[in-house]
Structure 1
Amino acid sequence: MHDPFALFDRWYEEARGTEINDSNAMALATADAQGRPSVRMVLLKGHGPQGFVFYTNLEGRKAGELIANPQAALLFHWKSLRRQVRIEGVVERVDDTTADAYFATRARDSQLGAWASDQSRPLPSRDVFMDRFAQVQARHEGGAVPRPPHWSGFRVVPQAIEFWQDREYRLHERRLFTRDGDGAWREGLLYP
């Protein structure tokens, strides 16, 4: 298979059948404007040839880093399959229509939580957050919950995708796809 997106689709579908929790979990690595790295887990919410999409509060640390330095790396680790996929690329915001459509699919409490949370900011106590959540819940009682203006998504547009398969005696298999200047994909192997 010489199409990195078709190969990702196949591996991802297999992971959805074997990973007990969150087969769509991926590590997102960013760096701030000074180059200081940061990594955290996020959930993949869309993917295809245009890139890999996740959503977040735009006022939090990760969004701030992505806005200041729009490059990121992703890592999927599917232990049950003894596989991982590494993705590196540039980052762009999703459009409002895409963000609105995804937000509408979220559980109502998750929608309300997006309004109540000042993501990544200091929190005096859990009670403060739960009080804010209750206030937001009361404000939107009985009606649809619109997407907050400070909540949207990002797409990592891949420039490189590496597929890693565990093998006995650490003789692993590594396939690397890189995008050339014309947007075409080139495939090669890496030593383990």
Structure 2
Amino acid sequence: MTTTDISQLRKSYERAELSEEASRADPLDQFGQWLQEAIQAQVPEPNAMTLATVGSDLRPSTRIVLVKGYDAAGIVFFTNYESRKGLELAGNPYAALQFHWVELERVVRIEGVVEKTSAAESDAYYASRPLDSRIGAWASPQSQVIPGRATLVANAAKYGAQFMLNPPRPPHWGGYRLVPDEWQFWQGRKSRLHDRLRYSQRDGQWLRERLAP
């Protein structure tokens, strides 16, 4: 496809709307509703989200991670603490998340500060993972340069033989919780006049405002 072809791609968003009256007063409730609707609509990977972090060199980076829990305390995901994202969060705990449910013409953006989950929470989730995923957490030196895929395969065999059916959680692997201080909900609308609601913290309460798209 040429650049000219790409510039001519168009889509009219007409599936739904998002009004102040119909939206929830608490952004967590609104998020929960939209996530459940994405699951019910059988959207591919409805729990996949983009995580954006910023390093000490002020260069932003993004990657896809999976949300594994959410409640009033925040949005939870798990990863390698020594990966690029882990090192960037250690130096700058502020991050942003984005869900894009293409089929529903919806986007949710979340910003806030990130903290590690408790060791007990990380242990519990790690223990719930399939065995090959638990071994994989040991086998992959995430974000580091490796000679080739054979390194991963050899590492998996090594740790599989060492730990058998009961690998412990690696000390470099665990959970993070993003504590939101701002949410944005975007619903595609016709003529590019999209609905966009922002929730921000003001004196311990959520202020809901409409933003121009």
**2:204 maps to which residue?**
183
1:104-132, Cα deviation, whole Å (9 max, x unpaired): 11111000000111000001010111011
**Which ranges of structure 1 fall in alignment gaps of 5 or more residues?**
none
**2:174 maps to which residue?**
152
**How far apart in 1 are the matches of 2:75 and 2:199?**
15
1:133-188, Cα deviation, whole Å (9 max, x unpaired): 011111122x32211111011111101000000001111001100012x3221111
**How far apart in 2 are the matches of 1:120 and 1:18?**
34
When normalised by structure 1's length, the TM-score is: 0.96
Matches within 5 A, 1:37-186: 37-141=60-164, 143-180=165-202, 182-186=203-207
Shift of the alpha carbon at 1:19? 4.1
**1:103 match: secondary structure:** helix
**How far apart in 2 are the matches of 1:17 and 1:61?**
34
Amino acid at match of 2:178: V
Q: Is the 8 A contact 1:57 1:151 kept in 2?
A: yes
Shift of the alpha carbon at 1:65? 0.3
**How far apart in 2 are the matches of 1:179 and 1:127?**
49
When normalised by structure 2's length, the TM-score is: 0.87
Shift of the alpha carbon at 1:36? 1.1
1:2-47, Cα deviation, whole Å (9 max, x unpaired): 1101110000001112244211000000001232100111000111
Cα distance 1:27–1:121, how it changes in 2: closer, same or farther (>3 A)?
A: same
Larger relative contact order (Cα-Cα within 8 Å, sequence gap ≥ 6) = 2
Q: CA RMSD in A?
A: 1.0
**How far apart in 1 are the matches of 2:119 and 2:33?**
29
**2:185 match: secondary structure:** strand
Which of 1 and 2 has greater Rg?
A: 2
**How far apart in 2 are the matches of 1:92 and 1:183?**
20
**1:160 match: secondary structure:** strand
Query: Percent same amino acid at aligned positions?
Result: 47
**How far apart in 1 are the matches of 2:43 and 2:29?**
23
Q: Is the 8 A contact 2:197 2:209 kept in 1?
A: yes
Amino acid at match of 1:173: D
Q: Is the 8 A contact 1:165 1:172 kept in 2?
A: yes
**How far apart in 1 are the matches of 2:53 and 2:42?**
25
